[in-house]
Amino acid sequence: MAQTLTYKILQQHLVEGRLQAGQPIGIRIDQTLTQDATGTTAFLLFESMGMARVQTELSVSYVDHNLAQFGPENHNDHLYLQSIARKVGVYHSRPGNGICHQIHLERFGRPGATLLGSDSHTPTCGGLGMIAIGAGGLDVASAMGGGPFYLTCPKVIGVRLTGRLHDWVAGKDLILELLKRLTTKGNVDCVIEYFGPGTETLTVPQRATVTNMGAELGVTTSIFPSDALTERFLHAQRRGKQFQQLSADPDAPYDRLIEINLSQLAPMAACPSSPDNVLSVEEIAGRKIGQVVVGSCTNSSYTDLMIVAEVLRGRKVDPGIEFAVAPGSRQVLEMIARNGALADLIAAGARILESGCGPCIGQGFSPADNVVTLRTFNRNFAGRTGTKGDQCYLVSPETAAASAIMGEITDPRNLKEIVGIKYPQIKLPKEYLIDDSMIDPPLPPDQAGSAQVLHGPTIVVPEAASALPDSLSGQVLIKCADKVTTDHIMPAGAFLKYRSNVPEYSQYVFYMFNEKDKPTFAQRSLELKKQGIAGIVVAGESYGQGSSREHAALCPMYLGVRAVLAKSIERIHKANLINFAIVPIEFDDPADYDKIREGDHLEISDLLIAIRDKEDLQIRNRTGNVSIKGRLNLTHRDRQILLAAGLLNFAKKKAMPS
Ligand code: MIC
Ligand code: SF4
């Protein structure tokens, strides 16, 4: 029977279940990646699970998020990560070497393999024809230990590409077009698979931009075929041997088919404050801007930066804007330094930031009040820049460069007419500059035993969850609207440095929603916890969109939250809630959302009985005096994890001889 590429790779890695959309499956994971902001907890949990050595073909730990180093916290984390990696068999990419997804694409990803990463943009490597999935750190820790990764067997949405992008139109514009069509809601448990003649016109870095930002659709992952262009890319990275040709069968059965003619695409922009709030650049051209930033794992490849440098060569950015460039990796930075493009950027007025996530995660470069910022990133959730009430637009490097010159949002296709710039045709290098000296290999097993692990004083080992009660009696601590992201639940930016200290970081849960003259979410939760009353979060559609950060479950757990009742919950966040023994419940009738207010007292009798094997449960709103039906959309394994009080306890129990 004809198969999609997704199912071909899943089939080869299937260890549990059947490949049928909607069914729970377990797959073998070949490679893992972690980054410092999620990885520190992941490795602490890996240690708590009692694991000595990773069992994967390859595991890499990257340091790219927390590079600001105000106070000792970040460096303590870096040293911990470096020392634990050496000991347990993991490669360690040191700070300054670049962003995890960019480096993994350059140096490690291989067609046909599976990759699990503790970062939601792990699907970037789908641009190389691999199944690359983002997950919580605890799930990645378990995969590092050789455990399968459990997921819902996805539906496959086929995107058939025809035509060819016009000059000045980028891979970014393709994914923005798709976000416009599919939005960030309602795509859970789907994979986007690109096929058709148009795929052959997109380079690997362009494909990687598309699969990277596919994360914003809320899909499990996105994938391109592995073809002659993949081979060229791998060859140029001196990894030609890892190439294998892969594609879907000609009549592959897609659950849904979308046609996109690349020749019809135009430059697009995601407007404030959601990646699916997409308009064409033409429609918003002329809006004044105060900042432009080129970078992030979406758009900071060698070709992206070369296009920007070529556009700016011999020109100056508008004096009314701040312009910054954060190269995706040291490979990119060194190459543009050696070929002179970096000098062109500096001469044009660019501020060169280090290779890392930087402003994408609010580590500096926050815009001033009421200043519009234009970025080549993937997320523009409210406040993510570090400025409350920010206005952040997401665009391609082409649009960013054109706008930087003009000081206002500018359609790059007009550059020729306005300033006489021809489209720079950037060729992919025949050979990238290879220098892996900032990637430390692990110690061989016979030397690893005595190696010391550096646990700095700011690193606090996270607690395991406590058992769920037979019946839950709790108070609604917050009632959120639709599309609440994990950035809203657990802010990053200035608070990112507390990632390895859960008691401290927990103080900032729902920080953005705290109101003046009202105790914070953390204060209210801890007060209830002292009284033995559970905390409950009520939410609308797509709760927990965005980042994979498990702190959005771990910290609420620490504060005493035991259930989330929402219209719908996103995949990674739902798994994280279960892993930390917070019960994810969906409204059977979404209209019941209106029957609950903040502060209401809810009761769920026989919670454990329901978790054991029931689909439905009754929620009594004591304050509003109404009953509401909730749904438990859980697999058998999810139920077992909840009953065992979270994945850590579940894994320990399984490891113990009965
Ligand atoms: C993000 O882009 O939001 C992050 C920061 O990379 C997160 C991970 C984290 O919160 O550490 C992600 O995408 O998963
Ligand atoms: Fe880093 Fe931004 Fe990419 Fe997240 S989206 S991995 S913060 S560059």
pLDDT per residue as tens digits for the range 450-475: 999 999 999 999 988 999 999 999 99
Ligand having the closest approach to the CA of 381: 1
Beta strand 372-375 with 291-294: parallel, antiparallel or unpaired?
Answer: parallel
Residues 400 and 431: their CA atoms lie apart, in Å, by 27
Name the residues annotated as catalytic.
64-65, 119, 379, 547, 549
Residue 80 has pLDDT above 50, yes or no: yes
Q: What is the pLDDT of residue 455?
A: 96
Q: What is the pLDDT of residue 657?
A: 47
- Amino acid 354 reads E
The answer to whether the beta carbons of residues 413 and 267 sit under 8 Å apart is: yes
Q: Catalogue all structural domains in the chain, each as residue range(s) with its CATH number.
A: 5-261 (3.30.499.10), 276-414 (3.30.499.10), 472-655 (3.20.19.10)
The answer to whether the beta carbons of residues 246 and 226 sit under 8 Å apart is: yes
Q: Please compute the mean of the pLDDT values over residues 579-606 and round it to a whole number.
A: 98
Residue 446 has pLDDT above 50, yes or no: yes
Q: What is the pLDDT of residue 251?
A: 95
Residue 655 has pLDDT above 50, yes or no: yes
Residue 656 has pLDDT above 80, yes or no: no
Residues 271 and 295: their CA atoms lie apart, in Å, by 18
User: What distance in angstroms lies between residue 297's CA and the mean position of ligand 2's atoms?
Assistant: 6
User: What distance in angstroms lies between residue 544's CA and the mean position of ligand 2's atoms?
Assistant: 17
**DSSP-assigned letters across all residues of 590-628:** GGGGGG--TT-EEEETTHHHHHHH-SEEEEEETTTTEEE
The minimum-distance atom of ligand 1 relative to the CA of 38 is 11
For the Cβ of 361 lying below 6 angstroms from any atom of ligand 1, the answer is yes
Ligand having the closest approach to the CA of 137: 1
Residue 244 has pLDDT above 50, yes or no: yes
Share of the chain above pLDDT 90, in %: 98
Q: What is the pLDDT of residue 136?
A: 97
Which residue's CA is the closest to the ligand 2 atom numbered 1? 357
Residues 77 and 79: their CA atoms lie apart, in Å, by 5
Q: Give the global pTM.
A: 0.98
For the Cβ of 265 lying below 6 angstroms from any atom of ligand 1, the answer is no
The minimum-distance atom of ligand 2 relative to the CA of 64 is 1
Ligand having the closest approach to the CA of 119: 1
The minimum-distance atom of ligand 1 relative to the CA of 384 is 3
> Which of 34, 63, 65 should be mutated for ligand 2, with most atoms under 8 A from CB?
65
Task: List the one residue out of 21, 3, 9, 8 whose CA is nearest residue 151.
Answer: 21
Q: Please compute the mean of the pLDDT values over residues 130-139 and round it to a whole number.
A: 98
Tell me phi and psi for residue 65, to 5 degrees.
-85, -55
Which tens digits make up the pLDDT trace of 38-70?
Answer: 999 999 999 988 889 999 999 999 999 999 999
Which tens digits make up the pLDDT trace of 260-303?
Answer: 999 999 999 999 999 999 999 999 999 999 999 999 999 999 99
User: What distance in angstroms lies between residue 256's CA and the mean position of ligand 1's atoms?
Assistant: 29
> Which of 65, 81, 119 should be mutated for ligand 1, with most atoms under 8 A from CB?
119
Q: What is the pLDDT of residue 105?
A: 98
Ligand 2: residues with CB < 6 A are 65, 99, 119, 121, 296-297, 357, 360-361, 378
Which tens digits make up the pLDDT trace of 149-190?
Answer: 999 999 999 999 999 999 999 999 999 999 999 999 999 999
Q: What is the pLDDT of residue 658?
A: 40
Exposure string over 504-541, b if 16+ CB within 10 A, otherwise e: bbbbbbbbbebeeeeebbbebbbebbeeebbbbbbbbb
Q: What is the pLDDT of residue 599?
A: 98
The answer to whether the beta carbons of residues 206 and 398 sit under 8 Å apart is: no
Task: List the one residue out of 91, 90, 126 whose CA is nearest residue 110.
Answer: 126
User: What distance in angstroms lies between residue 65's CA and the mean position of ligand 2's atoms?
Assistant: 7
For the Cβ of 551 lying below 6 angstroms from any atom of ligand 1, the answer is no
State the CB neighbour count (10 A cutoff) for residue 21.
14
> Which of 62, 99, 299, 325 should be mutated for ligand 2, with most atoms under 8 A from CB?
99
